[in-house]
Amino acid sequence: MANLVVIGTQWGDEGKGKIVDLLSAKADTIVRFQGGHNAGHTLVIGQNVFKLSLLPSGIIRENKSTVIGNGVVLDPWKLVEEINLVRSKEISIDPNRLIISENTPLILPFHKELDLFREKASGNKKIGTTGRGIGPAYEDKVGRRALRSGDLKEVETIKSRLRTLVDHHNILRRGYNAKLIDEESVFTEIMKIREEIIEYIGPVWQFLNSQIKDGKNLLFEGAQGSMLDVDFGTYPFVTSSSTLAGAASTGTGVSHNKIQSVLGITKAYTTRVGKGPMPTELFDEVGQLLSQIGKEKGTVTGRDRRCGWFDAPLVKRSCVINGVTGIALTKIDVLDRLEKIKICVGYRTEETIFNEFPLSSDVAETIEPIYEEMDGWNCNTSGMKRLSQLPEEARKYVERIEKFLETKVNLISTGPERDETILLEDPFI
C-alpha cells in the first residue's frame, strides 16, 4: 500500500497531467482534492488528446476509480460536459468509477459572473483569473453559505440554501448597481443538472479510508502549483485554494499520516499565466523559443504563458513546504536548442542579497535573479527513455537541480507521451 500526492512546485502547468496519467497505472484510485475547472491537463494517449480540467486524469483508464474531494469547487455543468466528452471517446463512466464528495461546494453561474465582473472592474490591478468563478465560490465556502453537492439530494435544502446564497449576492449586486440574480431560474437550472450528477455523490472520506484499509494505492492529483497557493503563493496573484500537499488531507478526509510520498512536478524552466511577480521571466528570443518549443499556451484559457529560466530557490521553497520526497522534471527537451542555460540561484536588489524567494509580492517585483550559467547540450533529447541516452550536459543540469533542491529527481519527462519518460526511481514507495 502506498499513497502519493502529486503537486506542482511552480506556477502550475508543470505537466502534471501526463505524470499523473503515467502513475495512475499503479494506482487504484485517483483523487482531485483542490481547485476546480481552472486547472487544465492535457493527456496524449496515442491519437487521442484529452483536455480535462475537472475530472481526475485517471478517468481515462477504465479500470480505475476516481474521486472529487471536498476541497474542490465543482461546476456541475462543466462536470457533465466533461463526462460527455470522455464518453464520446468510448470510455465509460459510472458511479463505481466516479464519486463526488457530499461536502464539495458548487460553482453556480453567478460565481463566474462575479469573477469576470471583478476582473473587468479592477483595471490594471486585475489578478488575471481564469474567469471560472473559482474565487467567488471559495469565498462562499468560507463564508458558510455555499450550496454543496450533498444538498442536491433534498429539494427543500436546495431552496433554502440557494435563498441564503442569492440574498447575499444580490446585496452585493445592489451595491454595484448590477442586474439582480433571478433565483427561480437558477433553481430551475440546478434542478435539471442535479439529475445528471446526483448518482455520483457519496461519502468520499469513507470510501477512501476503506480503500486504505484494503491496501489500495491512492494517487492524489494536485492542481495549479505551490506559487499559486492562497497562503504561500505570490499573494494576491494566486488562486483561492490551498494547492499544497497538505490539502490532499483536508480536501478529502484522509489523514496526513496515511500519505507517504509527495512528488513535486517541476518544469525544467519556469512559466506562469496571469499577473504577478516572476523574477526569471525572459522578454528576449530565448523566452520566445521556450514559448514556441514548449507550446506554452494555457489549456483552459488559451492565454500565452510567460516563460523564463529555472528559478531554483522558488522550487526549493516548494519542496520544503510540501515535504516533497521526489521530483519529476518535465519538458527538459524544450531546452535542447540552447547553447547556454541559466539557473537562478538567488536574487538581489541594489542593497540586499536574497537566498530565498520573498513572500511579499511587492518585494518579489523588485528583485533581480542571480544566475549560474551552464553549457547547453544542443542536441535532441525528445522521446528519450533511459538516463544513459541523455547527453552529459543535460545530466549535469539535472544533477545541479537535485543538488540545489536537496531532493532526488525520480523521473524526467522528455515528451508528452506516456512512454517519453526516463524513470529513475519509483515515486510510489
Residues serving a catalytic function are 13, 41
Q: Does 135 bind ligand IMP (CB under 6 A)?
A: yes
Of 13 and 333, nearer to ligand IMP (C-beta) is 13
| DSSP three-state, residue 48 | strand
Q: Binding of ligand IMP at residue 130 (CB under 6 A)? A: yes
- The reply to whether 128 sits near ligand IMP by the rule CB under 6 A is yes
| Position 223 contacts ligand IMP (CB under 6 A) | yes
Q: Which is nearer to ligand IMP, 8 or 150 (CB)?
A: 8
Interface mask toward ligand IMP for 256-275; x: CB under 6 A: -----------------xx-
- The distance of closest approach from Cβ of residue 225 to ligand IMP in the complex, given in angstroms and rounded to an integer, is 7
Give the one residue of 4, 99, 228, 312 binding ligand IMP; rule: CB under 6 A.
228
Nearer CB in complex with ligand IMP: 134/218: 134
Distances 330 to 43, 216, 343, 365 between C-alpha atoms, Å: 14, 27, 15, 26
HEC assignment per residue over 200-269: HEECHHHHHHHHHHCCCCEEEECCCCHHHCCCCCCCCCCCCCCCCCCHHHHCCCCCHHHCCEEEEEEECC
Choose among 268, 274, 228: nearest CA to 247: 228
Please provide the distance, in angstroms rounded to a whole number, between the alpha carbons at the two ends of the chain: 8
Is 411 a binding residue for ligand IMP by CB under 6 A? The answer is no
Residue 277 near ligand IMP by CB under 6 A: no
13 counts as binding ligand IMP under rule CB under 6 A: yes
Q: Is 134 near ligand IMP (CB under 6 A)?
A: yes
Alpha carbon distances (Å) from 57 to 18, 29, 51, 64, 84 = 8, 10, 10, 10, 15
Q: Which is nearer to ligand IMP, 228 or 329 (CB)?
A: 228
**Pick from 15, 40, 246, 277: which binds ligand IMP (CB under 6 A)?**
40
Q: Which is nearer to ligand IMP, 39 or 394 (CB)?
A: 39
Find the Cα–Cα–Cα–Cα dihedral 380, 386, 389, 393, rounded to 10°.
80
Catalog residues that contact ligand IMP under the rule CB under 6 A.
Answer: 11-13, 38-40, 127-130, 132, 134-135, 223-224, 228, 237, 239-240, 273-274
